[in-house]
Structure 1
Amino acid sequence: MVWRFLFGGLLCVAVLSPARAVAELQRSEKAAFRVVELSVGLEHPWSLAFLPDGRFLVSERPGRLRLVGADGRLDPRPVGGVPVVVARGQGGLLDVALHPQFASNGWVYLSYAGGGEGGAGTEVARGRLVGDASGSRLVDLQVIYRQQPKSLERVHFGSRLVFGGDGMLYITQGDRGEMERAQAPGDLAGKLVRLHDDGRVPADNPWRGVASARPEAYSTGHRSMQGAALHPQSGALWTHEHGPQGGDEINVIRPGRNYGWPLITYGVNYGLGTKIGVGTHLPGMEQPLYQWTPSIAPSGMAFYTGGRFPGWQGNLFVGALKAQALLRLELDGDRVVGEERLLVGQVGRIRDVRQGPDGFLYLLTDAADGRLLRLEPAARP
């Protein structure tokens, strides 16, 4: 049968079970906190989802979906029924997300690098999570999206999955390392995709009915989006993406908009420092809400709305791979008015950032022995 989970006392007790501190007391401008280690032994973990009974689903890039107990214990048995992935370069098993009605329907969504004619490309599948004494597995597996055409390149798959307030599934992607594809309307690479939860194309997608374009696309001109989250007040989808050498961006996604790559960017060619495209501006192309030069290599993103850290209310948190930091951004509407870098060089490459239903912040570190970490408030000395 499909797992049916209950919120309540179990969750409240479980999240407070003892865990090992892994960093000294941290003093943010707006909060004091400590970092505790919940789970270790995760191989290049990529994404995190919270099950209603207090457990965690964690994707590992080599192609495994893992269950972590509320007490941090890693189930040695991977979840069965996961689609075969192409674990090559930046490809593999990527995001994991629960259907908004997961408690009643059991649907788990996965994005990953899927193989086929021509190489690999970003794909999305869903399956129902079931379990018994023999372990947990996905059943009724359905591939609901395949990026076309596929490529032999090993980079820029994306990919984050977000269910919008409209009930639609938003899929972030990349240009697959072939930058010209991001501006090609008949090519799915470099596009943010919007679908019904079963993979059908919505009737109001901006290029639906345009013969030369892919109807799945919702926005275009993206390089490699590895962060996405809904703004808690406006409901707008915010994403971030990797620039080349410089020019990592945060964008607010609007239907039918062109975000410029590779015609405009604040980055330059690797090693050469030479200009890409025409510069930083073109009429009809969107400017980033915020950008980082030099690059931080952003991955994972969450708005903080919990009660554990009152000083962080409404802040945006972004993980950084290259910078090995957690970035806290203060906002005024759609403007970033302040940036603070936390945990610089202390926990490694941060791949994912999530706010838990308990109001804590959770991090995944990208390493062969990756970790699930939790940020907890601490009294200032």
Structure 2
Amino acid sequence: MRHQLLAFMPLVVIACSGQADSQQAPMSGARPFAVTPVADFDAPWAMTFISGGRMLVTEKDGRLLLVSADGKSRAVVAGTPTVDSKGQGGLMDVVAAPDFARSGLVYLSYSASVPGGKAVVLARGRLTEEVAGARLEAVETLFTAGPAIDGDGHYSGRIAFAPDGRHLFFTAGERQQFDPAQDPKATLGKVLRLTLDGKPAPGNPLAARGFAPEVWSYGHRNLLGLAFDAQGNLWEQEMGPKGGDEVNLIRAGANYGYPRVSNGDHYDGRPIPDHKPDDGFEAPKVSWNPVISPSGLMIYSGAMFPAWRGDAFIGGLSSKALVRVDLNGTSAAKAEQWDMGARIREVEQGPDGAVYLLEDGRSGSQGRLLKLTPRT
């Protein structure tokens, strides 16, 4: 991590409407925030805040940790599901239920070996704390994306609760198989809208057209960020192929085009047609080429950084960056991109309005939890 703080040099924000802007935002030469390391983890993947400013943190190999607000103490939460952590798999997202203070329910995603191959799974359990330690009780599988696929990539598995508190949205990657993203019967390469029990939500827009009843939108690749803004708009970011990382405004029933169109190409050099106006596909609001390898998406609503309220923050893996995207209603534009010196897997907002980052690390190596606060 680079701790020196240089003079802040703002970037020009590039307007974006309709067709996505694919120009690469340059790295900002400075960071307008102080960085405080809080804790170290073994290949962490996601985190969520619960009562008292404490955190639940997932580690790729399958551990769920209950961490104190200051990061100085932690306990392994017993009762988590068995995961298949090969490749891009592992214990992935963790989100406390909207009524966590009453119910104690925690939602998890993870990759698992299932009949026919491997799949991303949505599960939930009740967090209990006793003298003997923390535990997930009554863990139940809510949904398994399909079809099952051999291979260890593009699980996705991000969770976002709808503002109505009665539904959740879940991302299922196309598992590096391309075509499932356009297959109406598959739930791969899709944003899914479910009840809190993991059932297809009534009124999903594509069921009457023969799609799997869980599908809300389709034509996606590897969806690693999902969040609602204060106006109820659902934003999603995903890794493109060779080029073409995307931020999308998710619309009910829309087709986002992959693999028929993309602002990138296949890794073997085969071209993919670019998004074009009126091509029948929903174009990204912002795209990157060269890529940033986005992972983790947070829309800021705190008071600590008032100028950023309502904007999206994305972790960059290959770019080793924190990326800000300026959101304005249903429009988006690139803003700053700060060099963080390490792969950033997760971005979250703390109860006090600070921004928290999880460095990616690797299995068997450390990834730090960092707290960002305004420079003084």
Structure 2 residue matching 1:301: 3-state secondary structure? strand
| Matching residue within 275, 285, 299 for 1:280 | 275
Q: Is the 8 A contact 1:26 1:34 kept in 2?
A: no
| Matching residue within 373, 377, 381 for 2:370 | 373
Structure 2 distance, partners of 1:201, 1:305, is: 30
Q: Which amino acid aligns with 2:255?
A: N
Structure 1 residue matching 2:156: 3-state secondary structure? coil
Shift of 1:200: 2.1
Unaligned 5+ segments in structure 2 are 11-30
Cross-structure match for 1:200: 199
Residue 165 to residue 27, structure 1, CA distance change in 2 (3 Å): farther
Cross-structure match for 1:105: 103
| Matching residue within 349, 352, 359 for 1:355 | 349
Q: Deviations over 1:125-168 (max 9, x none)?
A: 00000011111010011100011111112110002100011221
Structure 2 residue matching 1:257: 3-state secondary structure? coil
Write the mapping of 1:12-91 to structure 2, written as runs, cut at 5 A.
23-25=3-5, 27-28=7-8, 32-40=32-40, 42-75=41-74, 77-91=75-89
Cross-structure match for 1:11: none
Cross-structure match for 1:8: none
Q: Deviations over 1:180-199 (max 9, x none)?
A: 11100001110111111111
Q: Which amino acid aligns with 2:274?
A: G
Cross-structure match for 2:226: 228
Residue 52 to residue 345, structure 1, CA distance change in 2 (3 Å): closer
Cross-structure match for 2:126: 128
Cross-structure match for 1:171: 170
Cross-structure match for 2:21: none
Shift of 1:264: 0.4
Q: Deviations over 1:23-66 (max 9, x none)?
A: 223654578321001101x1111101001211100011111111
Q: Deviations over 1:88-145 (max 9, x none)?
A: 1101111000110000001000011121111111110000000111110100111000
Structure 2 distance, partners of 1:364, 1:345, is: 11
Shift of 1:74: 4.0
| Matching residue within 275, 296, 299 for 2:295 | 299
Structure 1 residue matching 2:102: 3-state secondary structure? helix
Shift of 1:330: 2.2
Shift of 1:271: 4.9
Residue 225 to residue 26, structure 1, CA distance change in 2 (3 Å): farther
Q: Deviations over 1:57-83 (max 9, x none)?
A: 0011111111111121242x4211111
Q: Is the 8 A contact 1:32 1:377 kept in 2?
A: yes
Q: Is the 8 A contact 1:46 1:59 kept in 2?
A: yes
Residue 280 to residue 337, structure 1, CA distance change in 2 (3 Å): closer
Unaligned 5+ segments in structure 1 are 1-20
Structure 2 residue matching 1:287: 3-state secondary structure? coil
Shift of 1:316: 1.6
Write the mapping of 1:139-288 to structure 2, written as runs, cut at 5 A.
139-167=137-165, 168-210=167-209, 212-232=210-230, 234-272=231-269, 274-276=270-272, 278-281=273-276, 283-288=279-284
Structure 1 distance, partners of 2:351, 2:7, is: 24
Cross-structure match for 2:28: none
Structure 1 distance, partners of 2:77, 2:135, is: 5
Q: Is the 8 A contact 1:330 1:339 kept in 2?
A: yes
Structure 2 residue matching 1:53: 3-state secondary structure? helix
Q: Is the 8 A contact 1:303 1:314 kept in 2?
A: yes
| Matching residue within 113, 116, 119 for 2:114 | 116
Structure 2 residue matching 1:81: 3-state secondary structure? coil
Q: Is the 8 A contact 2:320 2:344 kept in 1?
A: yes
Higher relative contact order (CA 8 A, sep 6+): 2
Shift of 1:361: 0.3
- How many residues align? The count is 351
Q: Which amino acid aligns with 1:362?
A: Y
Structure 2 distance, partners of 1:376, 1:345, is: 14
Write the mapping of 1:316-327 to structure 2, written as runs, cut at 5 A.
316-327=312-323
Shift of 1:22: 6.7
Q: Which amino acid aligns with 1:230?
A: F
Structure 1 distance, partners of 2:367, 2:315, is: 14
Structure 2 distance, partners of 1:32, 1:339, is: 13
Q: Is the 8 A contact 1:39 1:74 kept in 2?
A: no
Shift of 1:213: 1.9
Q: Deviations over 1:213-234 (max 9, x none)?
A: 21011111000000111112x2
Shift of 1:203: 1.4
Q: Which amino acid aligns with 2:60?
A: R
Structure 2 residue matching 1:340: 3-state secondary structure? strand
